[in-house]
Chain A
């Protein structure tokens, strides 16, 4: 069974479109994250939710809006997509909200904006 799953795996879309990425974890963890990995492989946190509450909101354009309907799901909606949004987006979860916890990552969603 997949611990952290994301859909879709690949997403190719035109500039200006709106798209969503979904994430689910079956580990029973309290905290979930969205990370962005750019073309140089730098991995940067975007958002974190703990029990459906937003606890980390990095300097991310407000075109990005996360939503956590329950603690097992964290979705990412992106409005008015731009070329610079092209990247791999990783969902992750951890047992607690601490930065010392192990992060369990999903397989990633490769977003390409044309």
Chain B
């Protein structure tokens, strides 16, 4: 059982389309992070959301933290092939000294 469930698991769309991926939990998190991992590389942090209801924008990417701090979403506008990768949400867990990762969404943008 994953503490952080991401959906969809896979998503393949055409360049220029919009998409949303989700990160859900039954537990409350003090913050959530989103990472992107490209093939053959390690994950790279995109954003950290810390306040319930918070919305952060990074160019065409919009991140939202749920009001109850149990979920987060990532919306991409006008997707481009460069957005292709594995998107991982992550949050502090247990003693808060460690971070746990979600199950991931593999995104593929077709030219």
Q: How far, in Å, is B3 (CB) from chain A's closest CB? A: 11
B68 within 8 A of A: no
Within 8 A of B (CB), among A58-97: 90, 92, 97
- Report A-chain residues with C-beta under 8 Å of the C-beta of B44: 105
A side interface size, CB within 8 A: 22
Asked if B101 and A105 sit within 8 Å, CB to CB, the answer is no
B side interface size, CB within 8 A: 29
Complex Cα–Cα for A12 and B106 (A): 26
Asked if B86 and A102 sit within 8 Å, CB to CB, the answer is no
Asked if A100 and B98 sit within 8 Å, CB to CB, the answer is no
- Report B-chain residues with C-beta under 8 Å of the C-beta of A43: 43, 88, 101, 104
Asked if A90 and B99 sit within 8 Å, CB to CB, the answer is no
Question: Helix, strand, loop or mixed for chain B's interface?
Answer: strand
Contact flags A28-66 to B (C-beta < 8 A → 1, else 0)? 000000000000111111001000000110000000000
- Of B35, B86, B92, which one neighbours A99 at CB under 8 angstroms? B92
- Report A-chain residues with C-beta under 8 Å of the C-beta of B88: 43
What are 28 residue pairs bridging A and B, where the CB atoms are less than 8 Å apart in the complex?
Answer: A41-B37, A41-B104, A42-B103, A42-B104, A43-B101, A44-B101, A45-B98, A45-B99, A45-B100, A55-B97, A92-B42, A98-B92, A98-B97, A99-B91, A99-B92, A99-B98, A99-B99, A100-B30, A100-B50, A100-B99, A102-B33, A103-B43, A105-B41, A105-B42, A105-B43, A105-B44, A107-B41, A108-B42
Further contacts, 6 of them, CB under 8 A, given A90-B43, A99-B91, A108-B40: A4-B42, A41-B37, A56-B97, A98-B92, A103-B35, A107-B40
